[in-house]
Amino acid sequence: EKESFDAAAFGEAHITKGIGRLTKHVFEEGKGSYITTDKGVKLLDLTSGIGVVNLGHCHPKVSEAAAKQCMKITHAQVNIGFNKTQVELIQDMLPIMPHKSLDTFFFWNSGAEAVEAAVKLARAATKKPNIIVMQGSYHGRTNATASLTRSKTIYGEGHGPLMSGVFATAFPYYSQWCATPENSTEELVTEALHQLKLTLQQQTAPSDTAAILLEPVLGEGGYVPAPPEFLHGLRRICDENNILLICDEVQSGYGRTGTMFFVEESGVRPDVLIFAKGVANGFPLSGIVASKELMDKQKPGSMGGTYAGNAVACAAARAVLQVFKEEKVLDNVAARSKQLFGFLNELKASGTKAGNLIEDVRGRGLMVGLQFARTPSKAGSQNAAAMFAKQQPQIAPKVVQECLKRNMLLLSTSVFDVLRFIPALKISEEELSTACSIFKESLEAVAE
């Protein structure tokens, strides 16, 4: 009987243990910033399904657009003909591109597939084999993207041999350097660019290097925005060495950081931009965009896929852009970002037991990372081993559990002790204020 059906137990028995799962909740309904479980528990969602339902769960205009498309055509296969909704979506997306050279698209379903498409394009266009990625990067869990991912070993562990030709260099993030938040941005950027030059001298020659691939805001690796100087430095090095710059904005794109794409802040032009997640607010849609000249270096037939750029997902994506305009979503991001940063920075400076646990509050817009202190007196003079031991996540997982007890979903990141705040971009002032209170109570419970 339906009433006695224990979906969690059945799922536990019949779904792979390979999926790490934060809770045993069974999600049945979502509306705005809230999710309701099959047991009627209402949860405040600060994860947005990992930065996907940016307009809130089941935004009516997006759901309606998808439903309407369902009655028209669901599968307009792109290797057979043009998908009209997809072509219309391109027309809608062109004005939000961070650079006018980005005018030629390829759509896929998931972020990882789009990352793979970008790598294929870079290799085909440059006729060079190697890709440089950042330490701390996350690009997906397929074989190629697990190889490109350097945030945690678990994503590749036991699954080798992974795709070859990938080299990692350092991102300007203090935890990657045994540094502290007090180290200047300039110092970190100089170090990181120096390491990149060494990578090109010691590991992969420019003549073998097709692309530098990075998340302009390090995501799973710790929620760290790249300083503009770093992105400019990368652009310069790419230009000098005939290397492509690929920006993975799967998580940081689509309004998350307060602009449609984070690279807008620095004005740096990516050769290839990767998007997914928020683009269709929960429908599977991803893609890459590049100049026509670059994209057309792919041989006809080398790209495509059964569901590439599905019509229903494309209809949802068109509605997403309409909502951005009609509901002034970016204005809300600016206001709520100020509210969240204000609250977290005040808590950090409060001198309370809970506040003293916080080491760093960072991010842009509503992509906010909070890192916990390694020691009450900061790490400065400690040796590397002691620092590393103390950097293992200790506080973040406990706070996540305390938030759960209070019916709020919050995520952590990476091998460092970091929490990430990614509420819906449409979260109201009141909802965010509730979230802040729950967070404070949860942190206080851990601090006791």
Q: Rounded to the nearest whole angstrom, what is the least distance from the CB of residue 424 to ligand PMP in the complex?
A: 17
Between CA 310 and CA 385 the distance in angstroms is 49
Per-position DSSP letters for 115-155, written without gaps between them: HHHHHHHHHHHH---EEEEETT----SSHHHHHH--S-GGG
Question: What is the contact mask toward ligand PMP in residues 256 to 295, using x (rule: CB under 6 A)?
Answer: --------------------x-------------------
115 binds ligand PMP (CB under 6 A): yes
Segment interacting with ligand PMP, rule: CB under 6 A, options 85-93, 108-116, 205-213, 438-446 = 108-116
Q: Specify the amino acid at residue 293.
A: E
With a CB cutoff of 8 Å and minimum separation 6, the contacts of 392 are 415, 417
Nearer to ligand PMP, 347 or 418 (CB): 418
Residues 313-342 close enough to bind ligand PMP by CB under 6 A: none
From first CA to last CA, the distance across the chain in angstroms is 45
Q: Which two tokens mark 181?
A: 């938040």
Long-range contacts at 350-353 (CB < 8 A, ≥ 24 apart): 352/444, 352/447, 353/444, 353/447, 353/448
22 binds ligand PMP (CB under 6 A): no
Instruction: Say which residue the tokens 């759509």 belong to.
Output: 107
Nearer to ligand PMP, 234 or 446 (CB): 234
Residues 135-164 close enough to bind ligand PMP by CB under 6 A: 138-140
Segment interacting with ligand PMP, rule: CB under 6 A, options 66-74, 110-118, 257-265, 350-358 = 110-118
Question: What is the contact mask toward ligand PMP in residues 238 to 257, using x (rule: CB under 6 A)?
Answer: ----------x-xx------
With a CB cutoff of 8 Å and minimum separation 6, the contacts of 136 are 150, 151, 171, 173, 176, 218, 221, 222, 224, 414
Question: What is the contact mask toward ligand PMP in residues 177 to 216, using x (rule: CB under 6 A)?
Answer: --------------------------------------x-
- Torsion angle of C-alpha atoms 299, 304, 309, 312, degrees rounded to 10: 140
108 binds ligand PMP (CB under 6 A): no
116 binds ligand PMP (CB under 6 A): no
Q: Which two tokens mark 403?
A: 């938030």
Q: Which residues of 254-280 are buried (b: 16+ CB within 10 A; e: fewer)?
A: bbbbbbbbbbbbbebbbbbbbbbbbbb
Q: Rounded to the nearest whole angstrom, what is the least distance from the CB of residue 216 to ligand PMP in the complex?
A: 9
172 binds ligand PMP (CB under 6 A): no
Q: Which residue is nearest to ligand PMP (CB)?
A: 111
Nearer to ligand PMP, 56 or 111 (CB): 111
Nearer to ligand PMP, 157 or 448 (CB): 157
Number of residues that bind ligand PMP (CB under 6 A): 14
Q: Rounded to the nearest whole angstrom, what is the least distance from the CB of residue 399 to ligand PMP in the complex?
A: 21
Angle at 24 (CA atoms; ends 19, 25), nearest 5 degrees: 120
With a CB cutoff of 8 Å and minimum separation 6, the contacts of 273 are 97, 98, 102, 246, 247, 249, 253, 261, 263, 288, 289, 290
Nearer to ligand PMP, 215 or 265 (CB): 215
45 binds ligand PMP (CB under 6 A): no
Look up residue 278 and give its DSSP letter: G
Segment interacting with ligand PMP, rule: CB under 6 A, options 29-37, 109-117, 181-189, 258-266 = 109-117
Q: Rounded to the nearest whole angstrom, what is the least distance from the CB of residue 141 to ligand PMP in the complex?
A: 7
Per-position DSSP letters for 226-247, written without gaps between them: PPHHHHHHHHHHHHHHT-EEEE
In the complex, the residues that contact ligand PMP under the rule CB under 6 A are: 50, 110-112, 115, 138-140, 215, 219, 248, 250-251, 276
